Structure 1
Amino acid sequence: MWTAIKGLAKGNEVMGWDFDIPHDPDDFRRCLLFYQQCNLTKADLNKVSEVFKWWKPFIDNWDELTRLFEEESPRENCPKLYKFIQKLIKEAKILAKRN
């Protein structure tokens, strides 16, 4: 996320370890904490999906992901959030292949 927001990514990177999407609630928690601690905006998030196309489903659904996280976060596994993330991963993989 940071490389896209700061303009360090070129846009030709491939989906993978360094530029990957959240795969579970704990991954999303780290992204959300980054977003909150760095006082990022929706415009900053949009930069991420402009550079890393496979992030688009996550950025477009950021509010819903956040809502589910806040609703379920006291639980260990956050089943609704996990299920939603898995749906978004499928969409992201399709976008990554088009990249």
Structure 2
Amino acid sequence: MTEGLLKLEHFAHWLASGERGISSEAIVSHLTGQQVGRPWAGADHPWDPDDFYRCEMLLRAYPLARLAFPAMKSRSEVWARLVDAWDELVALGEEEVPGIFSGPARGRAPRMYARMRQIREGGSE
């Protein structure tokens, strides 16, 4: 955790009341250079559409975080692949669950999950 591109205070509202998970906390930790949440010894990238949702909602709430988001590529090889495919995954999520990122709409996204797994495992299409 060495990036420190943004100040932790920038995320004050999210820290207090945002929907948080390991992967969204990893984004804030990496971009601020300060540990958020408990230290995680395992992989802290999004594993499923719910993890991805929390990350995308964080990025939508904090445009500066979205601008700094490419820095997540230096966190791990899996993060690098996910960052590169992020827009594709957003589009797939919106296709499978219309409104998933614009309101309370939540639902199953099996194709998105399968694509995330493929990306994590290092596969392309």
TM-score, length of structure 2 as denominator length: 0.59
As a proportion of its length, which structure holds more helix?
A: 1
- The one-letter code of the counterpart of 1:63 is D
Q: Could you list the per-position Cα deviations for residues 33-60 of structure 1 after superposition, in whole angstroms to 9, with x for gaps in the alignment? A: 0110111334x11111123333001000
* Bigger relative contact order (CA 8 A; separation at least 6): 1
Q: How does 1:1-99 map onto structure 2 within 5 Å?
A: 1-8=27-34, 16=42, 20-39=44-63, 40-42=65-67, 44-74=68-98, 76-91=107-122
Where in structure 1 do 4 or more consecutive aligned residues deviate above 6 Å?
Answer: none
Q: Which runs of 5+ in 2 are unaligned?
A: 1-26, 99-105
Q: What SS does structure 2 have at the residue aligned with 1:48?
A: helix
How many residue pairs match? The answer is 86
Tell me if structure 1 keeps the 8 A contact 2:78–2:119: no
Q: Which runs of 5+ in 1 are unaligned?
A: 93-99
Q: What SS does structure 2 have at the residue aligned with 1:58?
A: helix
CA distance in 2, matches of 1:82, 1:23: 8
Q: What SS does structure 1 have at the residue aligned with 2:46?
A: coil
Aligned-CA RMSD value: 2.5
Percent of counterpart pairs with the same letter? 29
Q: Structure 1 stretch 19-28 or stretch 30-39: which is displaced more?
A: 19-28
1:77 Cα deviation from its structure 2 partner:
1.6
Higher radius of gyration, 1 or 2? 2
